[in-house]
Chain A
Amino acid sequence: MSAAAIGTMVFVLTVVWGGATIALIAAWRLERRQARTEGQRRDGPQD
């Protein structure tokens, strides 16, 4: 397999799988933030 083909494969896999992984991490962080916000709203003011 030529170096150029390996380079193309690495590039395509990085964009697709890397992009999907970054998007999944972003989704997970948003979900956590939303859960925290909802938790604070349920608990009400702490003082």
Chain B
Amino acid sequence: MGKTERFSSRWGLLFASLGMAVGAGNIWRFPRVASQHGGGAFMIAWLVALFAWSIPLLIVEFWWGRSTRRGPVGAFVSMAGPGWAWAGGFVAICCTAIMFYYAVVSGWCLYYLGRSVFMGLEGAAVQSTWDAFVGSGWTVVCLAAALAIAVLVVLFGVRRGIERVSKVLVPCLFVLLLAAAVRAVMLPGAEKGLERLFQPNFHLLLEHKVWIEAFSQSAWSTGAGWGLLLVYSGYARRGEEVVVNSFITGLGNNAASLLAAIAIVPTVFALLPPDQASQVAAAGNEGLAFIWMPRLFLCDRNPGGAFLLIVFFASLALAALSSLIAMVEMGVRSLVDLGMARRTAVAVVALAGFTLGLPSALWMEVFKNQDWVWGLGLLVSGFLFAMGAARHGLGKMRREHNAEARGPGLGIWFELCVRALIPVAFLVMLVWWFWQAISWNPESWIDPRATTGLSTCLLQWGLVLVGLGFANRWLRKRSEKSGGPQ
């Protein structure tokens, strides 16, 4: 890929950004969490989180990427100052660590898609199918397949790879989700699921848990603070609009989440008695996607279920792959920023992705541990972007943006969100999730070997942060030396 490569049009960039934002979490997490935490009340809190946390951070990332044309390390150095290279390093490492286990998830989706197309699944045997699959050699094969697809796309470059593939994947994903949603609301009894999803129990808005779950979902789902939009906007055309594109990314992500929820929750409530339907939400992400959904789609009361199951796994696979491509590009961009040739960087990321994804593919406890540690790490990444933007000067950023913007300008709301709301929301979420870790593991939270303990999180973050602290000067020098594509 040449240094001057750019997305060919605004639509290419937008499709890639939507592909980045819409991931497996939109399909297997959002419907579950929304129905578990108050339905309509959760939706309201989730919308507030979109405008207070996600969109302001997407705007910061877009502005930084377009202005600096660098990955996270170079962008933090350019915008926040030379002492902030470590923060860019943390964002890059956090996202790359997620890529290692997210490739495993993408592999699972590919396996189930392939199996539902070519071999079929048996509704009565889905639990044993999952038990036999997870941790088997097949997970390794599927990890390699998912990584190979993503790496190949990235190897073709921005225009011929990422843009071209996103222009196909993202519309297909939306069409599949729409088809699944229309079919779900036509099932007899689907209104019970819609009622559950949108019940206006607004007194729940007084409960802190609803707000924390809504903000966490928004932070994880939209890609805000991951550094991925920063990388993609580094390839934006000159003068590409910031605010409109960031709103489309955030709103488009939530639109996909809503379609997924309307496809899944009414199906569950139409085909199961209410007490059993509640168990589905408690089954966890993998339990919902790979055990309950096949069981429901393949039951006798759901004609055409085998085809709908293929639609479901195809949308899950497309969502996972489009996000995995962005994560691989982030790893590659970060290495290129440190002076590595692009092709070498692709090879290094592919090898590291496979090697470091293996433990998550083979042992579920490692997978859950990494999901816990680096999922929470994303909240830290978002906070670092907010702090970096404040360090750069939010008033200055607004003035610079508004002076050149051809579209809508940035209002004082943006400054208020980044300076006040995001730091407060970050602290509240972090304390709450740490408190959860202690309550889940009252006797072992101090043990760093506990899968979802507090110590394992602090230890892994601490090791990375100490390393980055020592490497700050080296990172800054390497990043300044290599420069970015102009």
Interface residues of A (CB under 8 A from B): 1-2, 4-9, 12-13, 15-17, 19-20, 23-24, 26-27, 30-31, 33-34
Beta-carbon contact of B194 and A9 below 8 Å = yes
Beta-carbon contact of A5 and B194 below 8 Å = yes
Let me know if B204 is at the binding interface, CB within 8 A.
Answer: no
Assuming the contacts A8-B200, A12-B43, A12-B47, asked whether A33 and B252 have C-beta atoms less than 8 A apart, the reply is no
What residues on A are CB-neighbors of B199 within 8 Å? 2, 4-5, 8
What residues on A are CB-neighbors of B247 within 8 Å? 19-20, 23
What residues on B are CB-neighbors of A20 within 8 Å? 247-248, 251-252, 254-255
Nearest-neighbour CB distance to chain A for B196, whole angstroms, equals 9
Q: What is the bound-complex CA distance between A26 and B10, given in angstroms?
A: 12
Within B1-44, the residues touching A (CB, 8 Å) are 9-11, 14, 39-40, 43-44
What residues on A are CB-neighbors of B81 within 8 Å? none
Beta-carbon contact of B248 and A2 below 8 Å = no
Let me know if B481 is at the binding interface, CB within 8 A.
Answer: no
Let me know if B213 is at the binding interface, CB within 8 A.
Answer: no
Q: What is the bound-complex CA distance between A24 and B244, given in angstroms?
A: 8
Assuming the contacts A8-B40, A9-B194, A30-B241, asked whether A16 and B47 have C-beta atoms less than 8 A apart, the reply is yes
Query: By DSSP majority rule, is chain A's interface helix, strand, loop, or mixed?
Result: helix
Let me know if B273 is at the binding interface, CB within 8 A.
Answer: no
Beta-carbon contact of A8 and B47 below 8 Å = no
Q: Which residue from chain B places its CB closest to the CB of A2 in the assembled complex?
A: B195
Q: Which residue from chain A places its CB closest to the CB of B406 in the assembled complex?
A: A30
What residues on A are CB-neighbors of B406 within 8 Å? 30, 33-34
Q: Which residue from chain B places its CB closest to the CB of A3 in the assembled complex?
A: B200
Q: What is the bound-complex CA distance between A13 and B257, given in angstroms?
A: 11
Beta-carbon contact of A27 and B241 below 8 Å = yes
Kindly count the residue-residue contacts between A and B in the assembled complex, taking CB atoms under 8 Å apart: 76
Within B414-453, the residues touching A (CB, 8 Å) are none
What residues on A are CB-neighbors of B255 within 8 Å? 16-17, 20
Beta-carbon contact of A8 and B43 below 8 Å = yes
What residues on B are CB-neighbors of A16 within 8 Å? 47, 251, 254-255, 258
What residues on B are CB-neighbors of A24 within 8 Å? 248
Q: What is the bound-complex CA distance between A26 and B197, given in angstroms?
A: 31
Q: Which residue from chain A places its CB closest to the CB of B245 in the assembled complex?
A: A27
What are some 16 contacts across the A-B interface (CB < 8 A)? A1-B191, A4-B40, A5-B194, A7-B200, A8-B199, A9-B194, A16-B251, A16-B255, A17-B255, A20-B248, A23-B248, A23-B251, A26-B407, A26-B408, A33-B406, A34-B239
Nearest-neighbour CB distance to chain B for A20, whole angstroms, equals 4
Beta-carbon contact of B244 and A23 below 8 Å = yes
Q: What is the bound-complex CA distance between A13 and B47, given in angstroms?
A: 11
Known: A16-B258, A20-B254, A34-B239. 12 other contacts (CB 8 A): A2-B195, A5-B39, A8-B199, A9-B40, A9-B194, A16-B255, A20-B247, A20-B248, A24-B248, A27-B248, A30-B244, A33-B406
Q: What is the bound-complex CA distance between A19 and B70, given in angstroms?
A: 30
Name, among B244, B247, B252, the residue most crowded by chain A CB atoms within 10 Å (CB to CB). Answer: B244
Name, among B10, B11, B200, B407, the residue most crowded by chain A CB atoms within 10 Å (CB to CB). Answer: B200
Name, among A7, A13, A20, A24, the residue most crowded by chain B CB atoms within 10 Å (CB to CB). Answer: A20
Q: What is the bound-complex CA distance between A20 and B254, given in angstroms?
A: 9
What residues on A are CB-neighbors of B130 within 8 Å? none
Nearest-neighbour CB distance to chain A for B274, whole angstroms, equals 14
Q: What is the bound-complex CA distance between A5 and B195, given in angstroms?
A: 6
What residues on A are CB-neighbors of B245 within 8 Å? 27
Let me know if B198 is at the binding interface, CB within 8 A.
Answer: yes
What residues on A are CB-neighbors of B239 within 8 Å? 34
Nearest-neighbour CB distance to chain A for B299, whole angstroms, equals 23
What residues on B are CB-neighbors of A9 within 8 Å? 40, 194, 197-198
Assuming the contacts A7-B200, A17-B255, asked whether A26 and B244 have C-beta atoms less than 8 A apart, the reply is yes
Which one of B10, B47, B252, B254 lies within 8 Å of A31 (CB-CB)?
Answer: B10
Q: Which residue from chain B places its CB closest to the CB of A29 in the assembled complex?
A: B407
Which one of B9, B39, B47, B244 lies within 8 Å of A15 (CB-CB)?
Answer: B47
What residues on A are CB-neighbors of B10 within 8 Å? 27, 30-31
What residues on B are CB-neighbors of A4 within 8 Å? 40, 199-200
Q: What is the bound-complex CA distance between A25 and B264, given in angstroms?
A: 29
What residues on B are CB-neighbors of A1 within 8 Å? 191, 194-195
Q: Which residue from chain A places its CB closest to the CB of B14 in the assembled complex?
A: A27
User: A-facing mask of B247-287, CB < 8 A → 1, else 0?
Assistant: 11001101100100000000000000000000000000000
